[in-house]
């Protein structure tokens, strides 16, 4: 094949290995989600958000739970910060 020849995309080698960083992030989010589900169940609410964060060099999960209001009031937002 001559230099400068154009190959179809199907002829180029494809890498099937995914980068490690996104997978690691997904695992952390999954752990925060599981913790969030447990905290929501303990407080009788619904998990609204579970986010991993770095606070002061420590990895934590920030959990937001919507707890039903009393006597027909709107739900109350409760935020929990738990170490990972």
Q: Per-residue pLDDT for the chain (84 aa), expressed as one digit of tens each?
A: 455 545 454 454 555 555 554 444 444 455 899 999 999 999 999 999 999 999 999 999 999 999 999 998 999 999 999 998
| Token pair 């020849």 in the structure block, residue | 5
Contact call for residues 41 and 69 (beta carbons, < 8 A): no
> How far is CA 11 from each of CA 6, 7, 8, 31, 48, rounded to the nearest angstrom?
10, 6, 6, 40, 46
Give me the phi and psi of 15, to 5 degrees please. Answer: -90, 125
């Amino acid at each position: 094949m001559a230099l400068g020849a154009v190959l179809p995309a199907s002829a180029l080698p494809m890498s099937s290995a995914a980068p490690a960083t996104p997978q690691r992030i997904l695992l952390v989010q999954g752990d925060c989600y599981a913790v969030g589900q447990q905290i929501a169940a303990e407080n009788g609410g619904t998990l609204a958000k579970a986010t991993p964060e770095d606070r002061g060099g420590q990895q934590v999960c920030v959990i937001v739970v919507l707890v039903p209001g009393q006597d027909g009031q709107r739900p109350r937002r409760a935020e929990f910060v738990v170490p990972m």
